[in-house]
Structure 1
Amino acid sequence: MIDTKAKILLFRFLVLLSGVVPALWLGWMWLSDSMGANPAETAVHFTGRTGLILLLVTIAFSPAFRLSGWVGIMIARRQMGLWAFFWLTAHMLTWMGWDQYWEWRWIWHDMWELEYIRYGLSGLLLLIPLALTSFRWAPEKMGWSAWHWLHRLIYVAAGLGVYHLWVLTRVDYLLPTAFAIVFLALVVFRVVDAILHRQ
């Protein structure tokens, strides 16, 4: 039988793989010339989808803990959240650098003119204070109540990310619909759980 500490280490290793494997896959796509006619667009979409998936998984850790009671899930949640932030930051930087060639005139133009970019950028900005306060000392310095309220912004950021994808989509809405259903299910669980634990 595997003891609790070993299980936690194994789970954290799996979380590590969830952040690293997409980078290896993207590198393989680049080296094998499998990124299509527009590699920049492929990389932008890949990093964005990866970041949004990891962000929703981070939120899903809370209901998973509620249902299972296994503490290892909550121990690894910060790690997963930071990987989500990493990939969403990579998404923005890939768009700015590879797709827009750091042409700030066009970057600012698109930020003002394109609705989906404003939603995506707003969601990423909301994640910055969460990433900065993800360290173990932060809840004690801020106070647990303030820290918990701040980190509820992850729901707002995820909602903006899902809507960013929805507005960006032009033809096939299967993927954004799946993201939206998962996000709404997580929100409903959070609301119901909060109501039940107040009674």
Structure 2
Amino acid sequence: MPSRQGAIWIFRLLVLLGSSAPALWLAWQWYYGDLGAVPSEAVVHFTGKTGLTLLLVTIAFSPAFRFTGWVGFMIARRQIGLWAFFWLVAHMLAWMGLDQYWDWPWIRREMVDLPYIRYGVAALALLVPLALTSFYGVQKAMGYRAWHWLHRLIYVSAALGVIHFWVLTRADYLLPTLFAAALAALVLFRLIDAAIHRQ
């Protein structure tokens, strides 16, 4: 049996592999032309879904810790949260570059005219201060209470991300519904957990 530190190291390695492997798959599909009729659109959608999935997994690490008491979930939470941020930044850059061809006037017009773009931009913008303050030194300088309150913005960002995905969907709402249900369950757990620990 691995030691406690060994188990945490293995888990963090699995998080690294699981968060980076989609990039290898995407590069492979792009190289061999297996991304469908509109590869640029496939890249935009894939990066967005991957980022939103990892964002929800980041939130889910807290209840996983509550249920198991295993500290590895909390140690790896910052790691996977930064991966979620990476994928969502990649999603935004893919949209700007592959879909909009870096046409800045058109990009600004799309942000103003299309609600789902505004939801997505707002969701990513809320993650920027979380990424910048995710390091232990910053957490210590801010104080845990202020840092903890700031990082609750992840729930707002995830909600905006789900709305972004829902509004842009045109036909099959199964996946957006699953994302929404997962977020609702995580928020409900958070509220119940907070209520119990206040007693």
Task: Determine if the TM-score, normalized by the shorter chain, exceeds 0.5.
Answer: yes
Match of 1:68 in 2: 68
Partner of 2:159: 159
Structure 2 counterpart of 1:84? 84
Counterpart secondary structure, 1:76? helix
SS of the residue 2:159 aligns to: helix
Name the structure 2 match of 1:119. Answer: 119
Residue 32 of structure 1: how far off its partner (Å): 1.3
Secondary structure of 2:161's partner?
A: helix
Q: Kindly provide the amino acid, as one letter, of the partner of residue 150 in structure 2.
A: L
CA shift digits 1:57-100 (9 cap, x unpaired): 00000000000000011000000000000000000000001110
Q: How many residues align?
A: 199
Query: Structure 2: any 5+ residue segments left out of the alignment?
Result: none
Aligned: 1:33 with 2:50:
no
Q: Distance in 2 between matches of 1:98 and 1:196?
A: 48
Give 2:184's aligned residue: 184
The residue type paired with residue 42 of structure 1 is A
Per the alignment, in what secondary structure is the counterpart of residue 136 of structure 2? coil
Spell out, residue by residue over 1:117-165, the C-alpha distance to the aligned partner (whole angstroms, 9 max, x if none): 0001000000000000000111210111100000000000000000000
Tell which deviates more after alignment, 182-191 or 136-145: 136-145
CA-based RMSD of the aligned residues comes to 0.5
State the SS of the aligned residue for 2:130.
helix
In 1, the alpha carbon distance for the partners of 2:57 and 2:64 equals 10
Q: Which residue of 2 aligns with 1:193?
A: 193
CA distance in 1, matches of 2:10, 2:81: 18
Q: Take 2:17 and 2:168, find their aligned partners in 1: how far apart are those partners? A: 29
Q: Structure 1 regions of 5+ residues with no counterpart?
A: none
- Identity percentage of aligned residues: 65
Which amino acid in 1 is paired with 2:56? L
Could you tell me which residue of structure 1 aligns to residue 56 of structure 2? Answer: 56
TM-score when scaled to structure 2? 0.99
Deviation at 1:105, TM superposition (A): 1.1
Taking the aligned partners of 2:109 and 2:19, their CA distance within structure 1 comes to 32
Q: What's the offset of the Cα at 1:189? A: 0.2
TM-score, normalised by the number of residues in structure 1: 0.99
SS at match of 1:197: helix
Moved over 4 A (4+): none
Q: What amino acid sits opposite 1:58 in the alignment?
A: T
In structure 1, distance between residues paired with 2:194 and 2:120: 28
Residue type at the aligned position of 2:144: W
- State the AA in 2 paired with 1:106: W
Partner of 2:24: 24
